[in-house]
Amino acid sequence: MTPEPAVAVPEPVQIPFLETPWHRQDGYLGLSWTLLEDPRYAAALATLVAAPLLYMGAEFVTLTVAQAHIGGQLETLSAETQGIRKMRTEALSNLDEIEDSLALEVYPSQFEILTTALGLMESLKVRITEWTYDVGQLAFTFKSEQSVDPTFLITAFEKNGSFTNVTASRVQDNQLRVRMDVIPRQSKPASASR
């Protein structure tokens, strides 16, 4: 058997060293920076970077315009309500004097008395036809859908603690005339004022 001819060994060639290792040719985040040399990729990257900045800029402009608009409305509203605010300030400055003046009143106000009287007669379903309240004297006439016992009415007003000397007289079948004295605030018992 004849030996096969020997394979010729190639001559060594001087190969230049690479600037980066051969297994790390990718750039940061696995992207090759050479891709940016392509205008399409460069435009896409510029769009990705610019989009949030453009969005934030548009939002800033929108908020600035809205703030200027609201500021203008506030100035207009402030000018329109200046008179009302001035009257409110004057009213509040007089409030202490008004409260002091009301504190001098010995008897409860007509509104307080009317509210108390209607509360006592609420279950009777009455309609007041005449009302007179003058310096501690109360007189009123009412109509009711049902017959009202004057004794019940007198007892209810006397027990309330705001009234004394209560009298009731029948004017017609379902109509009663009631008279009473209103007890001054200072002379009310402590239990009645609670």
Please give the pLDDT value at position 191.
45
What does the pLDDT look like over 135-157, one tens digit per residue? 889 999 988 888 878 888 888 89
Residues 6+ apart with CB under 8 A from 19: none
- The H or E element spanning position 22 is none
May I ask the CATH architecture of the domain 110-184? 2-Layer Sandwich (3.30)
Residue 107 tokens, joined: 């008897």
Closest by alpha carbon to 141, among 151, 131, 150?
Answer: 131
Mean pLDDT, consecutive 10-residue stretches, the chain (194 aa), reads: 75 82 56 70 86 93 94 92 89 82 80 88 85 89 84 88 89 86 70 42
Q: What is the rounded distance in angstroms from the CA atom of residue 127 to the CA atom of residue 118?
A: 9
Distance of CA 175 to the CA centre of its chain: 48
Domain boundary assignment for the chain: 31-104, 110-184
Please give the pLDDT value at position 24.
54
**CA–CA–CA angle 66, 69, 75 (5° rounding):** 140
Q: What is the rounded distance in angstroms from the CA atom of residue 97 to the CA atom of residue 87?
A: 16
